[in-house]
Amino acid sequence: MLIGKQSWVFQNKPVILETGVTGGPFESNGALPEDFDLLYDDLWMAQDSYEKAHRLLMEKAVEIVLQKGNIQKEDIQFFLAGDLTNQITPTSFAARTNAIPYFGLYGACSTSMEGLALASFIVNYKGAHQVLTGASSHNAAAERQFRYPTEYGGQKPPTAQWTITGAGVALVARSEGLTGQFPYAVSATIGKVIDMGLKDPFNMGGAMAPAAVDTILAHFEDTGLTPDDYDLIVTGDLGEVGRETAYDLLQQQGCLMDKEKFQDCGLLIFKPDQPVLAGGSGAGCSAVVLYGHLLNEMKKGKYQKILVVATGALLSPLSVQQKDSIPCIAHAVAIEYGTVC
C-alpha cells in the first residue's frame, strides 16, 4: 500500500526466507568473514576474466540460496538483480544460467534495496510466491571500467573507496503458513535522484550523502516514524566521508539519533587496517552485509527493527569526462524480525 509520497507498507509481511552471500579475498580478510557462505581467495576464481568471475559470484550466491532453502529454480517466479558492470552483463549471464524470469536492475550501489523493495511489493500483493533478489560487484571489474587498469600506479585520494567483491542474494517469500521467527520487510521508501553538484568521482561518499538523507527524511515523513523506532539505521556505502556528512545533515534537519545507531555497510565490512581508504563500496556491499551479517545479528537478537538505506552514485566514466556532476539515489527498506503468522 502506498503511504505518504514515495513509500510502501507491506501488510502481508513478505519474508526473507533464505540468503546466499559470496565474497572475495579482501572480504575474507575483512571484519565479517563468518557471515559469508562462500569466500574466494583470488579475484579470478579460476575464470578467464574478471567479468566472468563476477558472474560466478552471483551464480554461486543463487545456488547457495536454493541449496539452503531446499528449493528448485522452477519454484521461483522472478529474479530481480543487478550489478555495476556495463549493461549489467554479469547478472544477465547469471540469469541465463538460472533461467528464472528476470528483471535486470541498475541503481549502482542502491540496486540491492531497489531489488528488495520491488521483490517485497511483488510478494506482498501475491504477484509471486517466491522471488529472488540481489546485487553484486567485483573490485577489479569495477576498477577497469570506472577508473584505471588494476596494475596502473595511480594514486587514490583518502576519500576514495574500495569496491567490494561479492554477491548477496535473498529469497523473498509469502508468509502464509510459516511458523517461527523470520526477518520480513515492513516498508520501503523509493528515493529520488539527488544531485548537489559534486563532480569528483574519487569522493562518491560526499556525493551520495544528500540522497541518503533525502530518502531517510522521506521515510520518516511518509511512515510517521522516528529514529527511535529503529534499533539500527544503516547506509549502503557512504564510507567515512559520506557517513559524517550525512549524520551532520540529519542533525541539521532535526532527525536526531545516537551516532552509534547510524552505521554504514562500507565501514562494517572491512577492518580498519585494510588499505580501503574511506571504506567499502559497490552494489554488492549493502547486499552482502545485510543478507549476511545484519540478518545474522537480527537472528541472534541484537537488532529487532532496522532500516537499510542503500546509496548509489549514478555516474559513468563518460559523464565524468563530459564534466557532469554526480547524480545519486538512495532506496530504503525497513526490516523487522519476528513471527509472521
Minimal distance, residue 213 CB to another protein, in Å: 10
DSSP 8-class letter at 155: P
CA pair distance 104, 137, nearest whole angstrom: 14
- Residue 155, Cβ neighbours under 10 Å: how many? 5
Work out whether 229 is an interface residue with another protein (CB under 8 A).
Answer: no
Torsion angles phi and psi, residue 240, rounded to 5: -60, -50
**Which grid coordinates are listed for 308?**
537499510
Work out whether 49 is an interface residue with another protein (CB under 8 A).
Answer: yes
Minimal distance, residue 172 CB to another protein, in Å: 33
Binding mask 254-283 for another protein (x = CB under 8 A): ---------------------x--x-----
Work out whether 253 is an interface residue with another protein (CB under 8 A).
Answer: no
Work out whether 240 is an interface residue with another protein (CB under 8 A).
Answer: yes
**Which grid coordinates are listed for 132?**
529472488
Minimal distance, residue 50 CB to another protein, in Å: 7
Work out whether 125 is an interface residue with another protein (CB under 8 A).
Answer: no
Read off the amino acid at residue 260: E
Work out whether 248 is an interface residue with another protein (CB under 8 A).
Answer: yes
CA pair distance 34, 28, nearest whole angstrom: 8
The interface region with another protein, picked from 13-21, 45-53, 94-102, 225-233 by CB under 8 A, is 45-53
**Which grid coordinates are listed for 188?**
520501503
**Which grid coordinates are listed for 216?**
531517510
Minimal distance, residue 26 CB to another protein, in Å: 9
Work out whether 196 is an interface residue with another protein (CB under 8 A).
Answer: yes
**Residue 28, SS3?**
helix
Sole binder of another protein in the list 197, 254, 272, 301 (CB under 8 A): 197
Residues of this chain, 311-330, that bind another protein according to CB under 8 A: none
Minimal distance, residue 152 CB to another protein, in Å: 4
Which string of b and e fits 207-220 if b means at least 16 CB within 10 Å? bbbbbbbbbbbbbb
| Sign (positive or negative) of CA dihedral 146, 94, 265, 124 | positive
Q: Give residues in contact with another protein (CB under 8 A).
A: 42-44, 48-51, 139-140, 143-144, 148-159, 196-198, 200, 203, 206, 209-210, 240-241, 244-245, 248-249, 275, 278
